[in-house]
DNA sequence: TATATTTGCATAGCAAGCTATATTGTGAAA
DNA sequence: TTTCACAATATAGCTTGCTATGCAAATATA
């Protein structure tokens, strides 16, 4: 069959990409005043929960490539958000710690993120919002296999 | 209230970002052999539908910034996918045309994209898939305002 | 113990997004 | 007609993602 019916508006991949760019713009605008960005935010979330994680642990937790994490952490160190300390038992390993300033950013940053999430899901019922999260989890699971 | 309940797994922004990265990886793998990429694919879709569009028209249609489009088109020209021709009535304007090779990529590229969309939505009913698309459209609309 | 493999991180180089700014052509206004 | 504002595109420079590759330390194997 000739595939003349393919349309951007109905391609999940296209929609996801578009939506992701809009999210990035929205959150970027709000957390930039805090000195955060879309690349650093997930790392901060992981570290606000548990400091002292290794780069390898952060990589597994956040699902980015090791090289991406290494570069992100370098920028974060440059910008005074984290400090890398050598692991005492394994000289290959770096543990990652928040600076005092970075610890203080938690509540304001989460507040901005919550606002963006609320804005994005405006007009949805609680049920729809839960469905949306569940459907995304399904897609993530489907695309994560292997 | 202290916002201790914020979790990555339930933040729409976080999920969208994660999902988008997985989509990019999946589609990239499959269209790379065709000489396409995630940045060029949307432009190709727009041009397969209507060649000779101006850069400005593509920008509006695809929702990326003008500078992003200019750079993407330059790479596409370098890689033999498009040709930029001066507009006959307005010397500021460039119209964008597909090369013969690029025209031939349509069906195979759309086939790969369709496969990725199907993989991503595996295990969803038709209704769920329609819901997913509708919910994403809602989010896009919410975040597109102004 | 000596070598080989694996593991953890860093670096190089590219794509694709962004903002800010420069450049050039059009069209309107003085 | 000259100037001024606007429009279309290009360029500079950044972030964030990727793959590929290098290197040093730890561990396993011969």
Instruction: Write the pLDDT tens digit of every residue in A3-57.
Output: 557 888 789 999 999 999 999 999 999 999 999 999 999 999 999 999 999 999 9
pLDDT computed for residue A2 by the predictor: 54
Q: Would you state the pLDDT for residue A114?
A: 97
In chain A, which ranges are E strands? 53-54, 82-86, 94-98
Residue B59 forms contact with A (CB below 8 Å): no
Q: What does the pLDDT look like over A63-102, one tens digit per residue?
A: 999 999 999 999 999 999 999 999 999 999 999 999 999 9
R_g of chain B, CA atoms, integer Å: 18
Phi, psi (deg, nearest 5) at residue A94: -110, 130
In this prediction, residue A97 carries a pLDDT of 98
Q: Does A130 touch chain B (CB under 8 A)?
A: no
Dihedral (Cα; B53, B57, B63, B67), 10-degree rounding: 90
DSSP 8-state symbol, A85: E
Tokens 């065709």, residue located: B34
Comparing CB atoms, the residue among B6, B9, B133 nearest residue A114 is: B6
Whether the CB of B137 is below 8 Å from some CB of chain A: the reply is yes
Hits for CB < 7 Å against strand C across A residues 88-107: 90, 92-94
B68 close contact with A: CB closer than 8 A:
no
Residue ranges in chain B modelled with pLDDT below 50: none
Q: In terms of Cα–Cα distance, which of A52, A3, A38, A111 is closest to B107?
A: A3
Residue B72 has what pLDDT? Answer: 98
Cβ within 8 Å of residue B92, ≥6 positions away: none
CA separation, residue A43 to residues A116, A119, B98, B129 (Å) = 18, 23, 41, 31
The answer, yes or no, to whether residue A61 has pLDDT greater than 70, is: yes
**Class of residue B78 by CB neighbours under 10 A (exposed 0-12, middle 13-18, buried 19+):** exposed
Cα separation, A142 vs A136, whole angstroms: 10
pLDDT of B2 reads 53
How is residue A19 written in tokens? Answer: 């939506």
Whether nucleic acid strand C comes within 7 Å of the CB of A8, the answer is no
A110: left (phi over 0), alpha (psi -120 to 50) or beta: alpha
Asked if strand D comes closer than 7 Å to B30 Cβ, the answer is no
Domains of chain A: 10-123 (1.10.10.10)
Nucleotide in closest CA–C1' contact with A43: D16
Query: Could you count the other beta carbons within 10 Å of the beta carbon of residue A6?
Result: 19
Give the pLDDT of residue A146. Answer: 61
Q: pLDDT band for position A116 (50/70/90)?
A: very high
**A40 C-beta less than 7 Å away from strand D:** yes
* Among the listed residues B32, B38, B57, B35, the one whose alpha carbon sits nearest the alpha carbon of residue B47: B57
Terminal CA-CA length for chain B: 31
The answer to whether the CB atoms of A111 and B14 lie below 8 A apart is no
Q: How far is B55 from chain A (nearest CA, A)?
A: 18
Alpha-carbon distance values, A73 to A49, A55, A96, A98, A117 (Å):
17, 8, 8, 11, 25
Closest CA to B124 of A20, A130, A10, A141: A141
In this predicted model, what pLDDT tens digit does every residue of A23-32 receive, in sequence order?
999 999 999 9
Q: Which residue is nearest to nucleotide C20 (CA to C1')?
A: B67
């Amino acid at each position: 069959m000739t595939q003349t019916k393919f349309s951007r508006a109905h391609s999940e991949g296209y929609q996801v990409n578009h939506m992701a760019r809009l999210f990035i713009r929205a959150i970027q605008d709000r957390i930039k005043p805090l000195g955060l960005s879309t690349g650093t935010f997930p790392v901060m979330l992981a570290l606000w929960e548990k400091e002292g994680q290794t780069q390898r642990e952060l990589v597994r937790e956040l699902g980015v490539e090791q090289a991406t994490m290494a570069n992100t952490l370098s920028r974060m160190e440059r910008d005074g958000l984290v400090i890398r300390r050598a692991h005492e038992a394994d000289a290959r390993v770096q543990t990652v710690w928040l600076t005092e300033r970075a610890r203080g950013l938690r509540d304001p940053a989460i507040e901005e993120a919550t606002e963006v999430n609320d804005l994005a899901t405006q007009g949805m019922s609680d049920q729809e919002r839960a469905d949306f999260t569940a459907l995304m989890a399904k897609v993530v699971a489907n695309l994560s296999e292997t």
